[in-house]
Amino acid sequence: MIRTGATFADAAAEWLRYIERDRMRKPSTVATYRSLLRSQILPTFADQPVESITPAMIETWIADVDRMPATRVKLLAMVHGIFQRARKAWGLRVNPVTEVEKPPLSSSGDIDVFSPEEVWSLVRAAASEQDGAIFLTAAFTGLRRGELLALRWRDVELRRLGDSGPRELSRGVLSTPKSGKSDPSQWRRTWPQRWRSSRVAGGGR
């Protein structure tokens, strides 16, 4: 067994540095990773030598994590990334996560969504015309919250969305959405006819 001299906490810190500075991930993404590390991963593995952690230990840990299946999959992917980085930084020979099965993502196949009538009822009950416009746009376009907050009239054509690509507002900074896609063919959506006659309070929104 190779002796790296690094603890799992050391490896996690190096991985965070790598994704933030070398991979240049968004501040919001890094903040999410840091929060999950602090609350879900480091309490179990922090002080252990990185080479001493086994697949069985990881399986026991992930089975006890009381989170939604998608979050548990994300946590396991983070631990995988930490060990992959440790292999490059300290010469760790194996990544124990490669022998751990991913938690199953349960899906009933039934998605409960609002009908158009329910969407319009929500719009009519909104506290303001601007809130109603946000609800309507979110329901009929699928835009994320950050994209909605960054949307301006100059970004929109009522026959089709403009060709400049979507933007989102994260921590007060405009940036490309998480998908990273700016090709209009990837995100153009049809706007309902009734939206064309609606007006949004607040000028630029």
For 126-182, the pLDDT digits (tens) are 888 888 888 888 888 878 878 887 877 777 665 554 444 455 544 444 455 555 544
User: 109 in a domain, yes or no?
Assistant: no
- Range(s) of the domain holding residue 179: 116-196
Instruction: Give the whole-angstrom CA distance, residue 94 versus residue 90.
Output: 11
Does the pTM exceed 0.75?
no
Residues forming beta bridges with residue 196, ordered by sequence position: none
What pLDDT does 102 receive? 87
Q: Which letter, b or e, does each residue of 19-32 get, where b requires 16 or more Cβ atoms within 10 Å of its Cβ?
A: bbeeeebbeeebee
Instruction: Give the whole-angstrom CA distance, residue 191 versus residue 67.
Output: 36
Note whether 67 and 141 are same-domain residues.
Answer: no
The count of structural domains within the chain is 2
User: 2 in a domain, yes or no?
Assistant: no
